[in-house]
Amino acid sequence: MAAELEPVTGRYMQLDIQGRRNRIYFEQAGQGIPLLCLHTAGADGSQFRHLLNDPEITRNYRVIAFDMPWHGKSLPPVGYHLEEYRLTSDLYVDTVMAVCQGLELARPVVMGCSMGGRIVLQLALAHGTDLRAVIGLESADHQEPWYDTDWLHRPDVHGGEIAAALVSGLVAPQSPDEYRWETLWGYLQSGPGVFKGDLYFYRADSDYRDRVGEIDTTQCPVYLLTGEYDFSCTPEDTLRTAARIEGAQAIIMEGLGHFPMSEDPQQFRGYIMPILDQIRG
Amino acid sequence: MSNIPATLVQLADLLNGNAGLVRRGRFVELEFMLQIGDEAHYLNIDHGKLTAITPAPLLMRPWRFAIRIQADAWLQFCQAMPRPGYHDLFAMCKLGVASVEGDIHPLMANLRYFQEILALARLELGEAAHGS
Protein backbone atom coordinates (compact mmCIF):
# COMPACT_ATOMS: atom_id res chain seq x y z
CA MET A 1 0.00 0.00 0.00
CA ALA A 2 1.32 3.42 -0.93
CA ALA A 3 2.05 5.74 1.95
CA GLU A 4 -0.25 8.65 2.54
CA LEU A 5 2.14 11.57 2.22
CA GLU A 6 1.27 14.75 4.03
CA PRO A 7 1.83 18.12 2.33
CA VAL A 8 4.18 19.09 5.16
CA THR A 9 7.92 19.47 4.60
CA GLY A 10 10.45 19.20 7.41
CA ARG A 11 13.89 20.80 7.12
CA TYR A 12 16.80 21.97 9.25
CA MET A 13 18.33 25.42 9.32
CA GLN A 14 21.51 26.64 10.97
CA LEU A 15 21.25 30.00 12.68
CA ASP A 16 23.39 32.11 14.96
CA ILE A 17 21.44 33.24 18.01
CA GLN A 18 23.17 35.43 20.58
CA GLY A 19 26.50 34.38 19.14
CA ARG A 20 25.87 30.65 19.30
CA ARG A 21 25.19 28.41 16.36
CA ASN A 22 21.94 26.47 16.53
CA ARG A 23 20.62 23.66 14.37
CA ILE A 24 16.89 24.17 14.22
CA TYR A 25 14.21 21.91 12.83
CA PHE A 26 11.11 23.36 11.24
CA GLU A 27 8.11 22.19 9.30
CA GLN A 28 6.16 24.16 6.76
CA ALA A 29 3.25 23.91 4.37
CA GLY A 30 1.22 26.27 2.24
CA GLN A 31 1.77 29.62 0.63
CA GLY A 32 0.83 33.18 1.27
CA ILE A 33 1.05 35.11 4.50
CA PRO A 34 3.70 33.59 6.78
CA LEU A 35 2.15 32.17 9.94
CA LEU A 36 4.91 31.33 12.40
CA CYS A 37 3.80 28.98 15.19
CA LEU A 38 5.44 28.78 18.63
CA HIS A 39 4.95 25.66 20.71
CA THR A 40 4.33 25.40 24.46
CA ALA A 41 6.99 24.96 27.13
CA GLY A 42 8.66 21.56 27.18
CA ALA A 43 7.11 20.45 23.88
CA ASP A 44 7.80 20.92 20.16
CA GLY A 45 6.37 22.18 16.90
CA SER A 46 4.45 19.01 16.10
CA GLN A 47 1.64 20.51 18.21
CA PHE A 48 0.75 22.47 15.06
CA ARG A 49 0.55 19.54 12.66
CA HIS A 50 -3.19 19.93 12.21
CA LEU A 51 -2.84 23.51 11.01
CA LEU A 52 -0.02 22.45 8.70
CA ASN A 53 -2.32 19.83 7.21
CA ASP A 54 -5.40 22.04 6.89
CA PRO A 55 -5.85 22.98 3.22
CA GLU A 56 -8.21 25.81 4.06
CA ILE A 57 -5.42 27.41 6.07
CA THR A 58 -2.49 26.58 3.82
CA ARG A 59 -4.33 27.96 0.79
CA ASN A 60 -3.72 31.45 2.16
CA TYR A 61 -1.00 30.99 4.74
CA ARG A 62 2.52 29.63 4.70
CA VAL A 63 2.41 27.84 8.02
CA ILE A 64 5.79 27.34 9.72
CA ALA A 65 6.36 25.57 13.02
CA PHE A 66 9.88 25.23 14.41
CA ASP A 67 11.24 23.38 17.40
CA MET A 68 12.95 25.77 19.79
CA PRO A 69 16.61 24.93 20.49
CA TRP A 70 16.73 22.10 23.09
CA HIS A 71 13.28 20.90 21.94
CA GLY A 72 12.05 18.25 19.55
CA LYS A 73 14.48 17.66 16.70
CA SER A 74 16.40 20.89 17.25
CA LEU A 75 19.68 20.47 19.07
CA PRO A 76 20.83 22.30 22.15
CA PRO A 77 23.81 24.52 21.33
CA VAL A 78 27.34 23.15 21.72
CA GLY A 79 28.34 23.10 25.39
CA TYR A 80 24.84 22.42 26.66
CA HIS A 81 26.16 19.76 29.02
CA LEU A 82 27.98 22.42 31.01
CA GLU A 83 25.02 24.67 31.69
CA GLU A 84 21.53 24.73 33.14
CA TYR A 85 19.02 25.53 30.42
CA ARG A 86 17.11 28.71 31.18
CA LEU A 87 15.02 30.47 28.58
CA THR A 88 14.86 34.25 29.01
CA SER A 89 12.70 36.90 27.38
CA ASP A 90 15.65 38.24 25.42
CA LEU A 91 16.78 34.83 24.20
CA TYR A 92 13.24 33.91 23.20
CA VAL A 93 12.70 37.15 21.24
CA ASP A 94 16.11 36.83 19.59
CA THR A 95 15.35 33.22 18.63
CA VAL A 96 12.00 34.03 17.04
CA MET A 97 13.36 37.06 15.22
CA ALA A 98 16.39 35.09 13.99
CA VAL A 99 14.01 32.50 12.52
CA CYS A 100 11.91 35.24 10.89
CA GLN A 101 15.00 36.83 9.38
CA GLY A 102 16.66 33.54 8.52
CA LEU A 103 13.63 32.36 6.59
CA GLU A 104 13.03 35.86 5.18
CA LEU A 105 9.48 35.96 6.48
CA ALA A 106 7.88 39.24 5.38
CA ARG A 107 5.62 40.63 8.12
CA PRO A 108 4.57 37.26 9.48
CA VAL A 109 1.69 36.54 11.77
CA VAL A 110 3.17 35.00 14.92
CA MET A 111 0.96 32.61 16.86
CA GLY A 112 2.20 31.07 20.08
CA CYS A 113 0.71 28.96 22.81
CA SER A 114 1.35 29.22 26.55
CA MET A 115 4.95 30.47 26.79
CA GLY A 116 4.57 31.13 23.05
CA GLY A 117 1.44 33.07 23.89
CA ARG A 118 3.40 35.10 26.41
CA ILE A 119 6.27 35.97 24.08
CA VAL A 120 3.99 37.19 21.28
CA LEU A 121 3.09 40.07 23.61
CA GLN A 122 6.75 41.05 23.87
CA LEU A 123 7.16 40.59 20.12
CA ALA A 124 4.20 42.90 19.50
CA LEU A 125 5.82 45.43 21.82
CA ALA A 126 9.35 45.30 20.49
CA HIS A 127 8.83 44.31 16.87
CA GLY A 128 5.21 45.21 16.15
CA THR A 129 6.08 47.08 12.97
CA ASP A 130 7.66 43.93 11.54
CA LEU A 131 4.63 41.76 12.25
CA ARG A 132 1.23 41.56 10.60
CA ALA A 133 -0.48 40.40 13.82
CA VAL A 134 0.08 38.23 16.85
CA ILE A 135 -2.17 35.49 18.16
CA GLY A 136 -1.68 34.46 21.76
CA LEU A 137 -3.15 31.11 22.69
CA GLU A 138 -3.42 30.57 26.44
CA SER A 139 -1.77 33.94 26.70
CA ALA A 140 -1.38 36.36 29.59
CA ASP A 141 1.06 39.09 30.55
CA HIS A 142 2.05 37.36 33.79
CA GLN A 143 1.37 34.31 35.88
CA GLU A 144 1.90 33.88 39.59
CA PRO A 145 3.96 30.72 40.22
CA TRP A 146 1.60 28.13 41.64
CA TYR A 147 3.76 25.05 42.07
CA ASP A 148 7.35 24.12 42.83
CA THR A 149 9.10 23.53 39.50
CA ASP A 150 11.98 21.68 41.20
CA TRP A 151 9.89 18.53 40.79
CA LEU A 152 10.46 18.78 37.04
CA HIS A 153 14.18 18.06 37.06
CA ARG A 154 15.68 15.82 39.70
CA PRO A 155 17.24 12.39 39.52
CA ASP A 156 14.61 10.58 41.57
CA VAL A 157 11.60 11.65 39.51
CA HIS A 158 11.27 10.94 35.79
CA GLY A 159 11.13 14.36 34.15
CA GLY A 160 9.05 13.34 31.16
CA GLU A 161 6.55 11.35 33.21
CA ILE A 162 5.95 14.07 35.72
CA ALA A 163 5.76 16.83 33.13
CA ALA A 164 3.14 14.88 31.20
CA ALA A 165 1.17 13.99 34.32
CA LEU A 166 1.19 17.58 35.53
CA VAL A 167 0.03 19.06 32.24
CA SER A 168 -2.51 16.28 31.61
CA GLY A 169 -4.95 18.14 33.82
CA LEU A 170 -4.66 21.14 31.54
CA VAL A 171 -6.27 19.20 28.69
CA ALA A 172 -10.05 19.65 28.58
CA PRO A 173 -11.94 16.51 29.66
CA GLN A 174 -13.89 16.38 26.41
CA SER A 175 -10.81 16.44 24.17
CA PRO A 176 -10.44 13.23 22.15
CA ASP A 177 -8.22 10.62 23.83
CA GLU A 178 -6.13 10.22 20.69
CA TYR A 179 -5.09 13.85 20.70
CA ARG A 180 -4.81 14.10 24.48
CA TRP A 181 -2.17 11.39 24.48
CA GLU A 182 -0.43 12.74 21.42
CA THR A 183 -0.15 16.10 23.17
CA LEU A 184 1.23 14.42 26.28
CA TRP A 185 3.81 12.50 24.23
CA GLY A 186 5.55 15.80 23.55
CA TYR A 187 6.08 16.15 27.30
CA LEU A 188 6.92 12.51 27.90
CA GLN A 189 9.84 12.71 25.48
CA SER A 190 11.18 16.14 26.40
CA GLY A 191 14.85 16.50 27.32
CA PRO A 192 15.88 16.66 30.97
CA GLY A 193 15.31 20.07 32.52
CA VAL A 194 13.91 21.59 29.36
CA PHE A 195 10.36 22.08 30.64
CA LYS A 196 11.75 23.57 33.83
CA GLY A 197 14.09 25.83 31.87
CA ASP A 198 11.19 27.09 29.77
CA LEU A 199 9.22 27.77 32.91
CA TYR A 200 12.04 30.02 34.10
CA PHE A 201 10.99 32.33 31.27
CA TYR A 202 7.31 31.78 31.98
CA ARG A 203 7.46 32.30 35.72
CA ALA A 204 10.46 34.50 36.39
CA ASP A 205 11.45 36.48 33.31
CA SER A 206 8.30 37.59 31.52
CA ASP A 207 6.25 39.87 33.71
CA TYR A 208 4.87 42.20 31.07
CA ARG A 209 2.04 43.68 33.12
CA ASP A 210 3.46 47.17 33.13
CA ARG A 211 4.27 47.17 29.44
CA VAL A 212 1.53 45.46 27.44
CA GLY A 213 -0.48 48.70 27.47
CA GLU A 214 2.15 50.14 25.12
CA ILE A 215 1.31 47.68 22.35
CA ASP A 216 0.01 49.51 19.31
CA THR A 217 -2.71 47.25 17.94
CA THR A 218 -3.27 49.56 14.96
CA GLN A 219 0.23 48.53 13.89
CA CYS A 220 0.11 44.95 15.12
CA PRO A 221 -3.33 43.55 15.97
CA VAL A 222 -3.48 41.28 19.02
CA TYR A 223 -5.78 38.28 19.34
CA LEU A 224 -5.91 36.29 22.58
CA LEU A 225 -7.70 32.94 22.73
CA THR A 226 -7.85 30.84 25.89
CA GLY A 227 -9.54 27.54 26.65
CA GLU A 228 -12.06 27.47 29.48
CA TYR A 229 -10.38 24.43 31.08
CA ASP A 230 -6.94 26.05 31.30
CA PHE A 231 -6.23 26.50 34.98
CA SER A 232 -2.60 27.48 34.33
CA CYS A 233 -3.26 30.49 32.12
CA THR A 234 -6.86 31.01 33.15
CA PRO A 235 -9.53 32.81 31.16
CA GLU A 236 -9.38 35.51 33.84
CA ASP A 237 -5.64 35.94 33.22
CA THR A 238 -6.28 36.41 29.51
CA LEU A 239 -9.21 38.78 29.93
CA ARG A 240 -7.20 40.86 32.39
CA THR A 241 -4.35 41.05 29.86
CA ALA A 242 -6.65 41.96 26.99
CA ALA A 243 -8.21 44.72 29.06
CA ARG A 244 -4.79 46.35 29.34
CA ILE A 245 -4.19 46.35 25.57
CA GLU A 246 -6.34 48.82 23.71
CA GLY A 247 -7.85 47.14 20.67
CA ALA A 248 -6.94 43.57 21.67
CA GLN A 249 -9.56 40.92 20.99
CA ALA A 250 -10.03 38.16 23.56
CA ILE A 251 -12.03 34.98 23.12
CA ILE A 252 -12.63 32.26 25.69
CA MET A 253 -12.87 28.92 23.92
CA GLU A 254 -15.40 26.39 25.17
CA GLY A 255 -14.45 22.76 25.56
CA LEU A 256 -10.73 23.43 25.24
CA GLY A 257 -7.78 23.48 27.62
CA HIS A 258 -4.18 24.64 27.48
CA PHE A 259 -3.28 23.00 24.15
CA PRO A 260 -6.14 23.96 21.81
CA MET A 261 -4.35 23.32 18.50
CA SER A 262 -3.23 19.81 19.43
CA GLU A 263 -5.74 18.54 22.02
CA ASP A 264 -8.85 19.08 19.90
CA PRO A 265 -7.98 20.42 16.46
CA GLN A 266 -11.55 20.37 15.22
CA GLN A 267 -12.87 22.39 18.13
CA PHE A 268 -9.97 24.83 17.82
CA ARG A 269 -10.61 25.26 14.11
CA GLY A 270 -13.96 26.85 14.87
CA TYR A 271 -12.20 29.58 16.78
CA ILE A 272 -9.02 30.14 14.76
CA MET A 273 -10.48 30.20 11.24
CA PRO A 274 -12.45 33.45 11.72
CA ILE A 275 -9.33 35.07 13.20
CA LEU A 276 -7.17 34.00 10.27
CA ASP A 277 -9.84 35.24 7.85
CA GLN A 278 -9.97 38.54 9.69
CA ILE A 279 -6.19 38.98 9.56
CA ARG A 280 -6.15 38.18 5.87
CA GLY A 281 -8.74 40.93 5.34
CA MET B 1 -13.31 -4.56 55.19
CA SER B 2 -16.88 -4.68 56.53
CA ASN B 3 -16.90 -1.11 57.84
CA ILE B 4 -15.40 0.33 54.68
CA PRO B 5 -17.63 2.18 52.20
CA ALA B 6 -18.65 -0.09 49.33
CA THR B 7 -17.26 2.41 46.85
CA LEU B 8 -13.74 2.07 48.27
CA VAL B 9 -13.99 -1.73 48.24
CA GLN B 10 -15.09 -1.47 44.61
CA LEU B 11 -12.19 0.85 43.92
CA ALA B 12 -9.80 -1.78 45.28
CA ASP B 13 -11.37 -4.43 43.02
CA LEU B 14 -11.18 -2.14 40.00
CA LEU B 15 -7.58 -1.17 40.64
CA ASN B 16 -6.37 -4.66 41.45
CA GLY B 17 -8.13 -6.04 38.37
CA ASN B 18 -6.51 -3.47 36.11
CA ALA B 19 -3.23 -5.10 35.15
CA GLY B 20 -1.96 -2.01 33.32
CA LEU B 21 -2.54 0.25 36.27
CA VAL B 22 -1.03 -2.24 38.73
CA ARG B 23 2.00 -2.46 36.47
CA ARG B 24 2.26 1.34 36.37
CA GLY B 25 2.33 1.35 40.16
CA ARG B 26 4.63 -1.62 40.60
CA PHE B 27 7.21 0.42 42.48
CA VAL B 28 4.68 1.96 44.85
CA GLU B 29 4.72 0.58 48.40
CA LEU B 30 3.20 2.92 50.93
CA GLU B 31 0.11 3.96 52.81
CA PHE B 32 -1.56 7.25 51.99
CA MET B 33 -4.64 9.01 53.27
CA LEU B 34 -7.59 9.80 51.05
CA GLN B 35 -10.05 12.20 52.57
CA ILE B 36 -13.30 13.06 50.83
CA GLY B 37 -15.25 15.60 52.85
CA ASP B 38 -15.21 14.39 56.46
CA GLU B 39 -14.49 10.75 55.57
CA ALA B 40 -10.85 9.74 55.58
CA HIS B 41 -9.20 6.37 54.99
CA TYR B 42 -5.70 4.98 54.88
CA LEU B 43 -5.11 3.21 51.58
CA ASN B 44 -2.28 0.70 51.59
CA ILE B 45 -0.56 0.13 48.26
CA ASP B 46 1.69 -2.88 47.78
CA HIS B 47 3.47 -3.13 44.43
CA GLY B 48 0.64 -1.23 42.77
CA LYS B 49 -2.21 -3.15 44.40
CA LEU B 50 -4.61 -1.66 46.92
CA THR B 51 -4.30 -4.23 49.67
CA ALA B 52 -5.91 -2.62 52.73
CA ILE B 53 -8.32 0.18 53.52
CA THR B 54 -8.47 1.44 57.09
CA PRO B 55 -10.74 4.15 58.48
CA ALA B 56 -8.85 7.26 59.56
CA PRO B 57 -7.78 8.84 61.75
CA LEU B 58 -6.12 6.26 63.95
CA LEU B 59 -4.04 7.73 66.71
CA MET B 60 -0.31 7.65 65.96
CA ARG B 61 -0.72 5.96 62.58
CA PRO B 62 1.58 7.58 60.04
CA TRP B 63 0.93 8.08 56.34
CA ARG B 64 3.26 9.19 53.55
CA PHE B 65 0.96 11.77 52.06
CA ALA B 66 -2.66 12.82 52.19
CA ILE B 67 -5.03 13.78 49.40
CA ARG B 68 -7.93 15.81 50.76
CA ILE B 69 -10.86 16.85 48.61
CA GLN B 70 -13.85 18.82 49.81
CA ALA B 71 -17.14 16.95 49.54
CA ASP B 72 -18.73 19.40 47.08
CA ALA B 73 -15.59 19.45 44.95
CA TRP B 74 -15.55 15.65 44.84
CA LEU B 75 -19.16 15.68 43.60
CA GLN B 76 -18.17 18.11 40.86
CA PHE B 77 -15.08 16.05 39.99
CA CYS B 78 -17.26 12.96 39.61
CA GLN B 79 -19.58 14.50 37.03
CA ALA B 80 -19.37 12.90 33.60
CA MET B 81 -18.14 16.27 32.32
CA PRO B 82 -16.71 18.22 35.26
CA ARG B 83 -16.82 21.99 35.24
CA PRO B 84 -13.54 23.86 34.62
CA GLY B 85 -11.47 23.83 37.78
CA TYR B 86 -12.99 20.58 39.06
CA HIS B 87 -11.57 18.30 36.35
CA ASP B 88 -8.16 17.60 37.86
CA LEU B 89 -6.61 17.15 41.30
CA PHE B 90 -4.19 20.06 40.92
CA ALA B 91 -6.86 22.24 39.36
CA MET B 92 -8.86 21.67 42.54
CA CYS B 93 -5.76 22.35 44.65
CA LYS B 94 -5.27 25.65 42.81
CA LEU B 95 -8.92 26.48 43.46
CA GLY B 96 -8.38 25.75 47.15
CA VAL B 97 -10.93 22.93 47.33
CA ALA B 98 -8.38 20.10 47.58
CA SER B 99 -4.90 19.67 48.98
CA VAL B 100 -1.96 17.32 49.01
CA GLU B 101 0.13 17.14 52.16
CA GLY B 102 3.01 15.24 53.68
CA ASP B 103 5.87 13.55 51.85
CA ILE B 104 4.56 13.99 48.32
CA HIS B 105 7.66 12.58 46.64
CA PRO B 106 6.06 9.20 45.89
CA LEU B 107 2.93 10.99 44.68
CA MET B 108 4.94 13.13 42.28
CA ALA B 109 7.18 10.26 41.14
CA ASN B 110 4.08 8.18 40.36
CA LEU B 111 1.69 10.98 39.55
CA ARG B 112 0.01 9.33 36.58
CA TYR B 113 -0.65 6.20 38.67
CA PHE B 114 -2.39 8.17 41.41
CA GLN B 115 -4.22 10.36 38.92
CA GLU B 116 -5.55 7.22 37.26
CA ILE B 117 -6.73 5.81 40.59
CA LEU B 118 -8.72 9.02 41.12
CA ALA B 119 -9.97 8.78 37.54
CA LEU B 120 -11.12 5.21 38.22
CA ALA B 121 -13.01 6.44 41.25
CA ARG B 122 -14.49 9.27 39.23
CA LEU B 123 -15.47 7.34 36.14
CA GLU B 124 -16.45 4.01 37.62
CA LEU B 125 -17.72 4.92 41.04
CA GLY B 126 -18.76 8.55 40.91
CA GLU B 127 -22.23 7.93 39.57
CA ALA B 128 -22.91 4.98 41.87
CA ALA B 129 -21.48 6.81 44.85
CA HIS B 130 -23.34 10.02 44.35
CA GLY B 131 -26.29 9.16 42.14
CA SER B 132 -25.36 12.07 39.90
| Residue B42 half-sphere exposure toward CB, CA atoms < 13 A | 16
Residues of B in contact with A169 (CB under 8 A): 87-91, 115
Contact A271, A253 (CB under 8 A): yes
Q: Answer yes or no: is B21 within a domain.
A: yes
The mean per-residue pLDDT over the stretch A244-269 comes to: 98
Total count of domains within chain B: 1
Domain annotation covers residue B29: yes
Distance CA B42, CA B51 (A): 11
3-state helix, strand, coil in chain A (%, to 5): 40, 20, 40
Which residues of chain A have a CB within 8 Å of the CB of B67? none
Q: Are the Cβ atoms of B84 and A231 closer than 8 angstroms?
A: yes
Chain A partners of B105 at a C-beta cutoff of 8 Å?
156-157
Predicted confidence at residue A197, as pLDDT, reads 98
Interval A155-174: pLDDT, tens? 999 999 999 999 999 999 99
Collapse the DSSP code of B62 into the 3-class scheme (helix H, G, I; strand E, B; otherwise coil) and give the result: coil
B132 occurs within a structural domain = no
| From the candidate CATH numbers 3.10.129.10, 3.40.50.300, 3.40.50.1820, 3.40.50.450, the one assigned to the domain spanning A9-280 | 3.40.50.1820
Residues of chain A with C-beta less than 8 angstroms from the C-beta of B112:
161, 164-165, 168
pLDDT tens, position by position, A82-119: 999 999 999 999 999 999 999 999 999 999 999 999 99
pTM recorded for the entire structure: 0.96
pLDDT-derived band at B3 (thresholds 50, 70, 90) equals confident
Range of the domain at B68: 6-126
CATH number at residue B73: 3.30.1050.10
Check CB contact of A268 with chain B, cutoff 8 Å: no
Q: Does the pLDDT of residue A69 top 50, yes or no?
A: yes
Residue ranges of B 43-82 with Cβ closer than 8 A to chain A: 81-82
Domain ranges of chain A: 9-280
* Contact residues for A183 (Cβ-Cβ < 8 A; gap 6+): A43, A47, A171, A259, A262, A263
CB atoms within 10 A of CB B80: 11
Structure confidence at residue B127 (pLDDT): 55
Identify whether the C-beta of residue A239 lies closer than 8 Å to the C-beta of residue A141: no
pLDDT of residue A171: 98
Q: What ipTM did this prediction achieve?
A: 0.93
**Statement: residue B128 has pLDDT above 80:** no
Q: Is residue B18 part of a domain?
A: yes
B111 shares contact with chain A (CB less than 8 Å): yes
**Res B121: pLDDT:** 83
Tens-place pLDDT, residues A181-231 = 999 999 999 999 999 999 999 999 999 999 999 999 999 999 999 999 999
